[in-house]
Structure 1
Amino acid sequence: MSIKVGVIGAGGMLQYHAAGFRQAGAEIVAVADPAPGAAARATEKWGIANAYESVDAMLAECAELDAVSIIVPNKFHAPLALQCLKAGKHVFCEKPPALKAAEVEEMIAVADSVGKKLMFNFNNRARPESQAMKGYCDDGTVGSINSAQAKWIRRTGIPGFGGWFTTKELSGGGAVIDLLHMIDLALYFMGYPEPAHVLANTFDTFITDRGFKGPWGIPDRADGTNNVEAAAHGFVTFKTGQVLTLQVSWAEMVKREEVSVVFQGTKAGGKVERLFGRDGLDETAIDTCELYVQENGNSVNRTIVTPACEDMGRSNSARNFIEAIEGKAAALNTPDQAHKLMKIIDALYESAASGKPVSI
Structure 2
Amino acid sequence: MSIKVGVIGAGGMAQYHIAGFKQAGAQIVAIADLNEAAAQAAAQKYGVAKAYGSIETMFAELPDLDAVTIIVPNKFHAPLAIQALEAGKHVFCEKPPAIDAAGVQQMKDAAEKAGKTLMFNFNNRARPESFAMKAYAEDGTIGRINSAQAKWIRRTGIPGFGGWFTNKDLAGGGPLIDLLHMVDLAMYLMDYPEPAYVLGQTFSDFIDDKNFKGPWGIPDAGGPTNVEAAAHGFVTFKSGQTLNLQVSWAELVKREEVSVVFQGTGAGGKIERLFGTDGLDETSIDSCELYTQEGGNSVNRSIVTEPCEDMGRSRSAANFIYTITGEEKPLNTPDQALSLMKVIDALYESAKSGKPVAC
Bigger mean CA offset, 28-37 vs 307-316: 28-37
Distance 1:283 1:29 in 2: 31
Distance 1:80 1:178 in 2: 19
CA deviation profile, 1:143-174 (whole Å, cap 9, x unmatched): 00000000000000000000100000000000
TM-score by length of 2: 0.99
Residue 259 of structure 1: aligned partner? 258
1:303 CA drift (Å): 0.4
Does the 8 Å contact 2:281/2:309 carry over to 1? no
1:288 CA drift (Å): 1.1
CA deviation profile, 1:67-87 (whole Å, cap 9, x unmatched): 000000000000000000000
The one-letter code matched in structure 2 to 1:97 is: P
Task: Map 1:201-212 to 2 at 5 A.
Answer: 201-212=201-212
Residue 103 of structure 2: aligned partner? 103
Residue 269 of structure 1: aligned partner? 268
The one-letter code matched in structure 2 to 1:328 is: E
1:36 CA drift (Å): 3.6
Task: Map 1:155-166 to 2 at 5 A.
Answer: 155-166=155-166
Q: Secondary structure at the match of 1:37?
A: helix
The one-letter code matched in structure 1 to 2:141 is: T
Distance 1:61 1:179 in 2: 36
Distance 1:148 1:280 in 2: 24
The one-letter code matched in structure 2 to 1:292 is: Y
Distance 1:359 1:45 in 2: 47
Unaligned runs of 5+ residues in structure 2 are none
Distance 1:14 1:49 in 2: 15
Cα distance change, pair 22–284 in 1 and its aligned pair in 2 (3 A): closer
Bigger mean CA offset, 65-74 vs 36-45: 36-45
Residue 316 of structure 1: aligned partner? 315
Cα distance change, pair 117–283 in 1 and its aligned pair in 2 (3 A): closer
Residue 352 of structure 1: aligned partner? 351
Q: Secondary structure at the match of 2:28?
A: strand
Whether 1:304 and 2:319 are equivalent positions in the alignment is no
Q: What value does the CA root-mean-square deviation take over the aligned residues?
A: 0.9
1:37 CA drift (Å): 0.5
The one-letter code matched in structure 2 to 1:266 is: T
TM-score by length of 1: 0.99
Cα distance change, pair 315–283 in 1 and its aligned pair in 2 (3 A): closer
Residue 57 of structure 2: aligned partner? 57
CA deviation profile, 1:194-234 (whole Å, cap 9, x unmatched): 0000000000001000000000111101x320100000000
1:285 CA drift (Å): 2.6
Distance 1:128 1:276 in 2: 18
Name segments (4+ residues, structure 1) moved above 6 Å. none
Task: Map 1:1-360 to 2 at 5 A.
Answer: 1-221=1-221, 223-278=222-277, 280-281=279-280, 284-360=283-359
The one-letter code matched in structure 2 to 1:307 is: E
Distance 2:217 2:59 in 1: 29
The one-letter code matched in structure 1 to 2:127 is: R
Distance 1:22 1:36 in 2: 23
The one-letter code matched in structure 2 to 1:239 is: K
Distance 2:253 2:114 in 1: 47
Distance 1:163 1:274 in 2: 27
1:106 CA drift (Å): 1.1
Does the 8 Å contact 2:65/2:89 carry over to 1? yes
Question: Alignment identity in percent?
Answer: 73
Distance 1:45 1:128 in 2: 28
